[in-house]
């Protein structure tokens, strides 16, 4: 099947899914109401709780959940073949990821914008609240620490992206000032901001910036420190100062980047140079773990990701201005992430075949190019390999529509770095909420303040990043835990949504219930297989933490199952009145 046909069929499928299944979930399963009380209005404070137009909050939400997840996951998973990767992206986004994200968002909105850890206690029992906090804290801890390294690596690989990524900050602050303080038109001024952003991209392409080592700290370590300091500042500012306007710029940047990729697919396909060169199925790549269950752990954000439940219930639920907007923000953004992941599959399975420079400096094309990059699991699994496969393949396609490859490479580098930065500082803000909630429950009010809680979030990530040395790569020690931990959280969020809907009566619970069972089985399976690998390697820290995660996952699953069979519509954990259907 040709790359162009694959893209068209998948995109049409996502559109039909949103109009059909998505709206069915909104109207019939969650009974959305435009007049229902929402946290953004009820608790409006101009800092965290801010009623926001759905187009703006969509930009924030999408930029936060996307990051590099829908890029690096598919970019490695295609080692098993493009067909399994694409099927999981398509089906997973529609019936699992979209259901997970939207459910987490709307349940949080009906619980004062509280995090999933908080409302899990309400719908299951108070015993699991602490366990949820452990899983959530661990996941965010890893994300904050590792994404600093991710961006640092991108800056090292594509130094032309440094200037535009940092210039986006003052551009965004100015945009926020003009919109929220001066009342300027958000659409027109955001377009001006995007134009300014792409001017900096062109400047960056011709004037790359390379970070030197400073005081014995390698460039990756220097960048990680700078980025963590930035995250502290960004996450304590009101969302209208930087987060919302920057993410609105990112949303436009996303549309432009996706548009360029789509045009690149058309241009390269009609030019006769774009063909899917990767094998359809490759069951046993050298050194790779088994396709089942690891495909479903490797591709997370592009199909379903537990981190999304943290964004939905951490920041977005505090900004969505009415329930009806939640469908567009929660379910719609997940399908758009599936769109991005689909383009990643095309870039890494077809675009890379248009031209790839191997380690010997030779330019190779076709199947030879793909095979050289994906010859073994070890060759393709590194961060540099994942990002470069996407960027090179994308730049090849974009070049076919007349954009110089050097500029195309910077555009894609900025795209990846910008979204990684959004994920990083959103995770910091959410971790601040988590820390505040946890210490609030422990009656340690002096640790719940905005600045102290953020300092704890950033400080613990800083420690992890530098625990193994000055390179800032310390989080890589625990990174083997991330995939299974992330998908475990997704399974647990679906369990909470299942119990929530079971209390409403009828068969509504099946919508999140079936995905909950599937993800629980896949993640438990992966955790067990990982444990055997860690035992074989005698990796004590990974062994201990993996056991903790496995025990917590099984505990919450069992508690959820017990609650499922005992819950009644009259339970106090269920709101007495739900919004009427629209």
Nearest to 72 by CA among 55, 91, 85: 85
What is each CA distance from 195 to 189, 202, 247, 249, 410, in whole angstroms? 10, 11, 15, 10, 15
Query: What pLDDT score does 383 carry?
Result: 62
**DSSP secondary-structure letter at 50?**
-
Say if residue 267's pLDDT is above 80. yes
How many residues are given for the chain? 582
Report which of residues 251 and 264 the model is more confident about: 264
| 291 closest CA partner among 459, 454, 77, 449 | 77
- Residues in CB range of 370: below 8 A, 6 or more apart: 277, 278, 348, 349, 352, 353, 356
* 194-217 per-position pLDDT tens digit: 899 889 988 998 889 999 999 999
Token couple for 488:
């475990």
pLDDT for 581: 37
pLDDT at 577: 40
Residue with tokens 């073949």: 81
Among 366, 408, 378, 379, which residue's Cα sits nearest to residue 391?
408
pLDDT exceeds cutoff 70 at 28: yes
- In DSSP notation, 159-180 reads GGGHHHHHHHHHHHHHHHIIII
Measured CA to CA in angstroms, residue 129 lies from 125, 132, 370, 446 at distances of 7, 5, 46, 21
Taking only the tens place, the pLDDT of each residue in 426-443 is: 889 889 988 888 888 778
Statement: residue 250 has pLDDT above 80: no
The pLDDT confidence band at residue 358, using thresholds 50, 70 and 90, is: confident
Specify whether the CB–CB gap between 341 and 304 falls below 8 A. no
* Distances from the Cα of 577 to the Cα of 109, 336, 570, angstroms: 15, 33, 11
Between CA 104 and CA 491 the distance in angstroms is 12
Q: What is the average pLDDT across 39-67? A: 85
Non-local CB neighbours of 34 within 8 Å, separated by 6+ positions: 322, 323, 324, 582
Instruction: Let me know: does 525 contact 293? Beta carbons within 8 Å.
Output: yes
Confidence bin at 574 (pLDDT 50/70/90): very low
Give CA–CA dist 335/66, Å, rounded. 11
Residue 445 has pLDDT above 80, yes or no: yes
| Calpha distance 495→484 (Å, rounded) | 16
Rounded distance between C-alpha atoms, residue 495 and residue 509, angstroms: 10
What percent of the chain is helix, strand and coil (3-state, nearest 5)?
75, 0, 25
- For the cut 90, the answer to whether the pLDDT of residue 52 exceeds it is no
Q: Which CATH number fits domain 3-566: 3.30.160.150, 3.20.20.140, 4.10.95.10, 1.20.1740.10?
A: 1.20.1740.10
pLDDT bin (cut points 50, 70, 90) of residue 136 is confident
pLDDT of amino acid 233: 92
Check pLDDT > 80 for residue 90.
Answer: yes
Q: Which residue carries 């986006």 as its tokens? A: 168
pLDDT tens column, 60-76: 788 778 777 788 889 88
Residue 579 binned pLDDT confidence (cut-offs 50, 70, 90): very low
Q: Are 303 and 24 in contact (CB under 8 A)?
A: no
Tens digit of each residue's pLDDT (9 = 90 or more) over 370-384: 888 888 776 655 666
Dihedral through CA 223, CA 229, CA 234, CA 237, nearest 10? -170
- Contact yes or no for 321/52 (Cβ under 8 A): yes
The dihedral region occupied by 272, where left means phi > 0, alpha psi between -120 and 50, and beta the remainder, is: left
pLDDT tens per residue across span 397-434: 999 999 988 888 888 888 888 878 888 888 898 899 88
**Kind and range of the H or E element at 356?**
strand 356-357
Give per-residue pLDDT as tens, 311-336: 898 789 999 999 999 999 999 999 99
In the predicted model, is pLDDT for residue 285 greater than 90? no
Does 129 have pLDDT greater than 90?
A: no
Is the model's pLDDT at 13 over the cut of 80?
yes
pLDDT of residue 381: 59
Does the N-terminal peptide bond of residue 302 adopt cis geometry, omega within 30 degrees of 0? no
* pLDDT at residue 580 tops 70: no
400 secondary structure, DSSP code: T
Rg of the chain on CA atoms, in Å: 22
Average of per-residue pLDDT across 505-517: 94
Mean pLDDT of the chain: 88
Give the closest residue to 314 by CA, choosing from 61, 573, 559, 503.
61
What are the tens digits of pLDDT across the range 481-499?
888 889 999 999 999 999 9
The mean pLDDT value for 185-202 works out to 87
Q: For position 227, what pLDDT does the model report?
A: 93
For residue 243, count other CB atoms closer than 10 A to its CB: 26
Q: Cα 91–97–98 angle (5° rounding)?
A: 95
Query: Which residues sit opposite 217 in a β-bridge?
Result: 214
Q: Per-residue pLDDT tens for 138-183?
A: 888 988 988 888 888 889 888 988 999 999 999 999 998 998 888 8
What does the alpha-carbon distance between residue 166 and residue 230 come to, in Å, rounded to a whole number? 10
Which residue did the predictor score with more confidence, 186 or 396? 396
What residues does each domain of the chain span?
3-566
Residue 530 and residue 527: Cα distance in Å, rounded? 5
* pLDDT beyond 80 at 230: yes
Q: Hey, what are 491's tokens? A: 């399974």
Q: What pLDDT does residue 1 have? A: 55
The pLDDT of residue 378:
67
Residue 572: the pLDDT is 47
| CA–CA dist 389, 370 (Å, integer) | 9
Weakest mean pLDDT among 116-130, 505-519, 554-568: 116-130
Cα–Cα dist 28/14, whole Å? 20
Is residue 300 within 8 A of residue 483, CB to CB? The reply is yes
In this prediction, residue 62 carries a pLDDT of 86
User: For the residues 243-272, what does the mean pLDDT come to?
Assistant: 86
- For 287-306, what is each residue's pLDDT tens digit? 889 999 999 999 988 899 99
Please indicate, yes or no, whether the overall pTM of this predicted structure exceeds 0.75.
yes
Residue partners of 375: CB distance under 8 A and separation at least 6 = 286
């Amino acid at each position: 099947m040709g790359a162009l046909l694959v893209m068209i069929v998948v995109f049409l499928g996502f559109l039909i899914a949103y109009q059909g299944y998505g709206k069915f979930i909104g109207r019939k399963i969650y009974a959305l109401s435009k007049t229902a009380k929402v946290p953004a209005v009820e608790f409006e404070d101009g800092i965290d709780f801010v009623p926001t137009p759905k187009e703006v909050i969509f930009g924030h939400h999408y930029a936060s959940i996307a990051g590099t997840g829908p890029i690096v996951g598919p970019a490695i998973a295609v080692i098993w073949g493009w067909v399994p990767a694409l099927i999981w992206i398509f089906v997973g986004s529609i019936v699992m990821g979209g259901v997970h994200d939207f459910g987490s968002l709307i349940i949080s909105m009906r619980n004062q914008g509280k995090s999933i850890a908080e409302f899990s206690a309400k719908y299951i029992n108070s015993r699991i609240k602490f366990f949820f906090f452990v899983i959530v804290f661990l996941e965010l801890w890893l994300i904050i620490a590792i994404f600093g390294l991710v961006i640092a690596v991108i800056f090292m690989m594509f130094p032309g992206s440094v200037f535009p990524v940092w210039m986006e900050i003052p551009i965004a602050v100015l945009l926020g000032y003009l919109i929220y303080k001066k009342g300027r038109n958000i659409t027109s001024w955001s377009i001006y901001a995007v134009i300014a952003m792409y001017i900096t991209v062109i400047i960056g392409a011709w004037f790359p910036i390379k970070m030197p080592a400073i005081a014995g700290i390698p460039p990756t370590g220097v960048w990680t420190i700078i980025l963590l300091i930035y995250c502290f500042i960004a996450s304590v500012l009101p969302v209208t100062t930087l987060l919302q306007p920057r993410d609105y710029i990112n949303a436009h940047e996303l549309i432009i980047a996706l548009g360029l990729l789509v045009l690149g697919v058309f241009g390269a396909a009609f030019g006769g140079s774009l063909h899917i060169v990767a094998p359809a199925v490759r069951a046993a790549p050298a050194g790779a773990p088994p396709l089942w269950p690891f495909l479903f752990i490797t591709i997370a954000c592009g199909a379903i990701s537990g981190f999304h439940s943290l964004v939905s219930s951490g920041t977005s639920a505090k900004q969505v201005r009415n329930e009806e907007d939640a469908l567009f923000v929660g379910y719609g953004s997940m399908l758009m992430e599936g769109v991005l992941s689909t383009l990643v599959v095309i870039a890494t399975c077809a675009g890379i075949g248009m031209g790839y420079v191997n380690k010997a400096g030779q330019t190779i094309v076709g199947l030879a190019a793909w095979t050289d990059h994906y010859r073994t699991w070890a060759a393709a699994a590194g961060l540099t390999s994942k990002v470069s496969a996407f960027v090179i393949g994308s730049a090849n396609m974009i070049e076919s529509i007349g954009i110089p490859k050097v500029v195309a490479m910077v555009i894609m580098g900025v795209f990846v770095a910008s979204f990684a930065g959004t994920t990083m500082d959103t995770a910091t803000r959410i971790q601040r909420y988590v820390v505040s909630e946890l210490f609030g429950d422990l009656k340690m009010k002096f640790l719940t303040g905005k600045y102290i809680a953020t300092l704890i979030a950033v400080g613990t990530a800083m420690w992890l990043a530098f625990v193994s040395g000055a390179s800032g790569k310390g989080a890589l020690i625990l990174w083997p835990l991330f995939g299974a931990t992330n998908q475990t959280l997704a399974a647990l969020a679906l369990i909470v949504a299942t119990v929530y809907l079971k209390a409403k009566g009828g068969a509504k619970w099946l919508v999140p219930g079936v995905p909950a069972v599937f993800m629980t089985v896949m993640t438990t399976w992966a955790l067990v297989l990982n444990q055997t690998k860690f035992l074989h390697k005698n990796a004590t820290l990974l062994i201990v933490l993996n056991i903790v995660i496995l025990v917590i996952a099984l505990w919450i699953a069992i508690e959820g199952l017990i609650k499922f069979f005992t819950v009644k519509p009259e339970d106090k954990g269920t709101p007495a009145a739900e919004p009427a259907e629209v």
